[in-house]
Amino acid sequence: MDKRGLSERDICTKFITPALRSAGWDELTQIREEVSFTKGRIIVRGKLVSRGKGKRADYILYYKPNIPIALIEAKDNSHSIGDGLQQALEYADILDIPFVFSSNGDGFVFHDRTGASPTLESTLSLDAFPSPVDLWARYRNWKGLTDQAERIVLQDYYNDGSGKAPRYYQVNAVNAAVEAIASGRDRILLVMATGTGKTYTAFQIIWRLWKAGVKKRILFLADRNVLIDQTMVNDFRPFGGKMAKLSTKAKTIERADGTEVDLTLALDKKRRIDPAYEIYLGLYQAITGPEERQKLFREFSPTFFDLIIIDECHRGSAAEDAAWREILEYFSSATQIGLTATPKETKYISNIAYFGDPVYSYSLKQGIRDGFLAPYKVIKVHIDRDVEGYRPEKGQLDRNGEEVEDRIYNSKDFDRTLVLDDRTKLVAKKVTEFLKDSGDRFQKTIVFCVDEEHAARMRQALINKNADLMTENHRYVMRITGSDADGQAQLGNFIDPEAKYPVLVTTSRLLSTGVDAQTCRLIVLDREVGSMTEFKQIVGRGTRVHEDTRKFYFTLIDFRGATNHFADPEFDGEPVQVYSPDTGQSITPPEDEPPNEGEPLPLGPDGSETILINPVDPPPPSATTRKIYVDGIGATILAERVEYLDEDGKLVTETLRDFTKKAIRRRFASLDTFLKRWKSEERKQAVIEELAAEGLLLDPLVEEVGKDLDPFDIICHVAFDKKPLTRRERAENVKKRDVFTKYGHQARAVLEALLAKYADEGVLNLDDTNVLRIAPFTALGTPVQLIKAFGDKSGFERAVHELQSALYQEAA
């Protein structure tokens, strides 16, 4: 057998696996080959969606299921023995595995990431691979585990027999938390991005500690009823009759599999607690309050609970005067674990000051990179009133006939103290336009408003813009806010992938955190978001991937500049695309042209992507502050812009140049078409105004391409790749052709001054006689005298049009 001619798989089968078996590793429970541990990044190119190649380890060795301790990268025998080590170390760092090996079938290179070995790297023969007992002893020494701690750390994960296994980062989080608790730490912080399964992670932590007998009574706290209910019927379901909710309100909940269950309650109608349960779940609002009689938690003894899990702990539990903090301090002897996607760090509130540094963190950026979280596009919409502000005219009356205070109102005032109803209607119009342009008006959508009253007005505006679908079902648009019982009753349907209605929901803050809206495809921000913590939570409403409904990315439309948080170093998950349409331009981002029928799809650089959505394929079947109301003011879109993460994960801004090229070519199919239109128009500014009316403003492009270029040259250069001439070059060409000889001295002086003005300022309306009223023309004579030099006004206009034709003569 020529060993050097064997494939990598042959090397694994014939040499590496036998060596592991000889060292005492069990093939069924301890050895896993070709372990894919990431999904592969979702890549969005217009409407074409693909998935990149996931990361895969050749071997992962487990001391017990979900307790990985070694990783092996295999190479064929044409490679040297240590060639796989660098890749193996990268994977081991991600997977938090301490012992790393590389092999080509001749032996192993061993890298000890714990630093406890005499040498960091050493070479081993095939028959010298360490046994499971040997590596576990090294692991135990590295972690400093006592016999008691070891017993806790080795407690089995919950296994329902379905084959469902936690993702690698969940394993890392669970193991880190359990090891920290086993080692005596009693304040734990886990930071995991929204949509990465914090509750499932919490369940596995509780399960292992509960089964190990070290935590016998557990309290799980959250601040939303829906979070508690979802948790009880889904992730915490295995606790069965040992679990109850701290509530007096009976409720029947539908599980993910369609079955229904009545929630077990730990309180009777008189709010007396049944102490027979072991796992309690509750809202902090339900067990505490400002008055002593509301502090239900005091009915428990301070030592009743061994373990408390605080979900979404950024929402104030770490503030010294917060209600949650009072509960935590009362049960201070219990081990306490905080779960958050966004640890809160301010002068007054600090999760880390209370819980300590996170024992494990998994960021939004990492989740998107691994393909577990959905990337997203951002559409930035700039409304004139927000950008320029609004100052009422003198004597301006509001809807009630009272005079509006004379000051400048800006975006912070709108819908909080001053209501411009036209602005609300414009937002609703643009959102509806986006849904219509997308071809799917049933995308689950959350519109975040300033407050509940604003959410009510936004609901009405959206209803009026979608009257056709409202007649089909009145729940197409709904307001879901804290005080709206009817809306709250529909929250379960909104987050249910199987429920069609409601589709568009308006809210203020109720849906900004914790709600598991798996199929949410559109998030609209029509309020400022000052807190980075809250901004991350809002973005997190859309980051869940839902493959059954082909939801692989989502869109965020920002009307208030909240997405400026992307520029903050604290934000860790850049958008896949950012688009800012101009006045009159479609709110839908310009998409890359889909591949022509019969042509290969544009895959990634290595051709390894899997297509998830191909646009050429057929779709699958199916407030206390008084507000001032001012009417008739109007509002328009100033501009909207595009950034995106490319397949390499780099933030790319779609240049104005690229955007302009697409927009102009939609208006003029070819250079000839544009030239004919330009030459036929005596008033060149009319062409520019037509483009502006369609949302294409050339002024910003002048800053990018060149300030000394004529709009004509900008268009020809950017859209049709023609070499541009500067205005001065065009003016000089006209002078060289000496086109003014047929005019008298004064007329020639006027035309030369017009040409100089064009070269300096790029004036297009040269035939506007008002130009004759300013310098340098005033030094040549009065406007009447200057026009007489051409015979009359029509003669002046004819001469100017000939001048303009001469300017663009070489483009013929």
pLDDT of residue 480: 87
Q: What is the pLDDT averaged over residues 377-389?
A: 78
| Residue whose C-alpha is closest to residue 695's, from 618, 656, 640, 769 | 640
Q: What is the pLDDT of residue 542?
A: 78
Sorting pLDDT into bands at 50, 70 and 90, what band is 395? confident
The torsion defined by the Cα of 739, 744, 745 and 747, in degrees rounded to 10, comes to: -70
What pLDDT does 428 receive? 93
Burial of 393 (0-12, 13-18, 19+ CB in 10 A): exposed
Which percentage of the chain shows pLDDT scores above 90? 30
Alpha helices in 548-670 (DSSP H): 656-667
- Check residue 143 and give its pLDDT: 92
Distance of CA 226 to the CA centre of its chain: 23
Q: What is the pLDDT of residues 324-346, one digit of tens each?
A: 678 888 999 999 998 887 765 55
Distance of CA 761 to the CA centre of its chain: 43
**pLDDT score for 513:** 54
Give me the pLDDT at residue 504, please. 93
Q: Give the model's confidence band at 583: pLDDT under 50 very low, under 70 low, under 90 confident, else very high.
A: low
Distance CA 31, CA 43 (A): 32
First to last CA, the chain: 74
The residue length of the chain stands at 812
Other C-beta atoms lying within 10 Å of the C-beta of residue 397: 13
Tokens read off for 608: 């390894």
pLDDT score of 682 more than 60: yes
More confident residue, 683 or 499: 499
Q: By the 8 A CB rule, do 261 and 239 touch?
A: no
Between the CA of residue 110 and those of 13, 139, 218, 588, what are the distances in Å?
20, 15, 42, 54
Number of CB atoms found within 10 A of residue 296's CB: 18
Listed in sequence order, the residues at least 6 apart from 787 whose beta carbon sits closer than 8 Å to its beta carbon are 769, 772, 793, 795, 796
HSE at residue 553, side-chain half, CA atoms within 13 A, is: 27
DSSP characters for 265-320?
BSB-TT--B-TT-SEEEEEHHHH--SSGGG-GGGGS-TTS-SEEEETTTTTTTTST
- The rounded mean pLDDT for the chain is 81
Query: Which position has the token pair 């799809």?
Result: 601
Q: How far is CA 225 from CA 188, 253, 489, in A?
A: 24, 12, 12
pLDDT computed for residue 603 by the predictor: 44
In a 10 Å sphere around its CB, with 0-12 CB exposed, 13-18 middle and 19+ buried, how is residue 643 labelled? buried
Nearest CA to 611 among 542, 549, 555, 550?
550
Would strands 504-507 and 520-525 be described as parallel, antiparallel, or unpaired? unpaired
- Tally Cβ neighbours within 10 Å of residue 568: 10
Q: Which residues of 308-320 are buried (b: 16+ CB within 10 A; e: fewer)?
A: bbbbbbbbbbbbe
- How do strand 554-558 and strand 252-254 relate by DSSP bridges? unpaired
Task: Please compute the mean of the pLDDT values over residues 447-454 and round it to a whole number.
Answer: 88
Mean pLDDT of 2-16: 90
Tell me how far apart the alpha carbons of residues 168 and 97 are, in angstroms, rounded to a whole number: 11
Q: What is the pLDDT of residue 343?
A: 64
* CA neighbor of 522 nearest in space, from 443, 419, 467, 625: 443
Of 523, 521, 536, 380, residue with least CA distance to 447: 523
- Give the phi and the psi of residue 25 in degrees, each rounded to 5: -85, 135
Predicted local confidence at residue 208, as pLDDT: 95
Q: pLDDT-based confidence at 213, cuts 50/70/90?
A: very high
Rounded mean pLDDT, 611-620: 56
CA distance 515 to 225: 10
**Average pLDDT in the 162-181 region?**
92
Q: What is the pLDDT of residues 243-290, one digit of tens each?
A: 999 888 877 776 666 677 888 888 888 888 888 999 999 887 778 776
In this prediction, residue 161 has a pLDDT band, given cuts at 50, 70 and 90, of confident
Average pLDDT estimate for 481-488: 80
More confident residue, 300 or 622: 300
Report pLDDT for 712.
83
Q: Answer yes or no: are the C-beta atoms of 196 and 169 closer than 8 Å.
A: yes
- Cross-strand pairs, 765: none
**Residue 176: what pLDDT?**
95
Write down the H helix ranges in 609-726.
656-667, 671-680, 685-693, 699-705, 711-720
Question: From CA 77, how far away is CA 2, in angstroms rounded?
Answer: 10
Q: What angle do CA 288, 289, 291 make, to 5 degrees?
A: 120
C-alpha 677/C-alpha 742 separation (Å) is 28
Dump pLDDT digits (tens) for 95-112.
999 999 999 999 999 999
Number of H-type helices and E-type strands within the chain: 28, 31
What is the pLDDT, as a whole number, of residue 575? 54
CA distance 796 to 767: 7
- CA 641 – CA 382 distance, rounded (Å): 10
φ/ψ of residue 611, rounded to 5: -75, 130
Q: How far apart are CA 442 and CA 461, in angstroms?
A: 17
Query: Percentage of residues in the chain with pLDDT exceeding 70?
Result: 81
Q: Which two tokens stand for residue 536?
A: 């991350």
pLDDT of residue 269: 81
What is the distance between the alpha carbons of residues 412 and 249, in angstroms, rounded to a whole number? 40
pLDDT number for residue 47: 72
Higher pLDDT residue, 599 or 687? 687
Q: Note the pLDDT of residue 651.
A: 44
Higher-confidence residue of 567 and 448: namely 448
Task: Give the tokens for residue 50.
Answer: 């693909």
**Rounded Cα–Cα distance for residues 600 and 603 (Å):** 8
403 forms bridges with which residues in the sheet?
397
Mean pLDDT over residues 510-525, rounded?
74
The letter for the amino acid at 393 is: E
- Mention every residue, 6+ apart, whose C-beta is less than 8 A from residue 780: 746, 749, 750, 753, 786
Burial zone of 360 (CB within 10 Å; 0-12 exposed, 13-18 middle, 19+ buried): buried
What pLDDT band is residue 750 in, cutting at 50, 70 and 90? Answer: confident
Q: Which of 92, 119, 306, 125 is nearest to 220 (CA)?
A: 306
CA 518/CA 394 separation, integer angstroms: 50
Distance, CA of 225 to CA of 286 (rounded, Å)? 10
Which pLDDT score, from 0 to 100, does residue 694 have?
58
Write down the pLDDT at residue 599: 37
